[in-house]
Amino acid sequence: MSIAPGIPMSIAPRTPVSIAPRIPVTFMRVGPEAAQELAQAMELDDEAVVLQRFARGCQCYVGRIDGKFVTYGWVTFDEESIGELGLSFRLQPGEAYIWDCATLPAFRGQRLYPALLAYMLGELYGAGIHRIWIGADEDNLPSQRGFILAGFTPVVDILMTRDATMRKPRVRGRPGVPEEVVDDVRRAIFGNE
């Protein structure tokens, strides 16, 4: 049996931290009216994917510099696919999952991503969300550094074990993480199995 690279899942701090980006930026939540501009920032051929996300109830937060989107992140409140693993993450009421975040290449290294995350946390907690999750591929170290700067705590690793016949996901808690948090992630992925 082998273990393939997984996804570290992290949980947000109860009190958002303040992150000062290195350059002036304006953060905001946008809606379907920004679909075309979002599609361009996301390097999509058309805005259909963006509009589908809004239609599903997803929210999008962005950072603007000189009127243009330079960083963005999506939020789901019910269920979201973890496409890299072929799994879904099912949220409980009052939870949110942050995903598909990026900063345009010309603006990387300016702390825009962790500042966007901190802004998103403030907005989501202000709207009554009580638990916020985020994850990234194991080899996506820039995203993981951004999580840590924004105050997220890694709680589990979602691993794919492989044997001769099948792939099977496994959730492994990080040292010191309460078992009930690890169980919550297991339920979010596997249901009540």
pLDDT tens digits, one per residue of 170-193: 889 999 999 999 999 999 988 865
SS3 186: helix
Residues 6+ apart with CB under 8 A from 158: 6, 7, 8, 9, 82, 85, 87, 135, 169, 170, 171, 185, 189
In the predicted model, residues of the chain with pLDDT beneath 70 are 1-6, 84, 163-164, 192-193
What one-letter code names the amino acid at 184?
Answer: D
Residue 66, judged by CB atoms within 10 A of its CB (0-12, 13-18, 19+), counts as exposed
Please tell me the distance from the alpha carbon of residue 1 to that of residue 172, in angstroms, as a whole number: 16
pLDDT confidence of residue 137: 83
What does pTM read for this prediction?
Answer: 0.91
Task: State whether the Cα torsion 79-151-125-118 is positive or negative.
Answer: negative
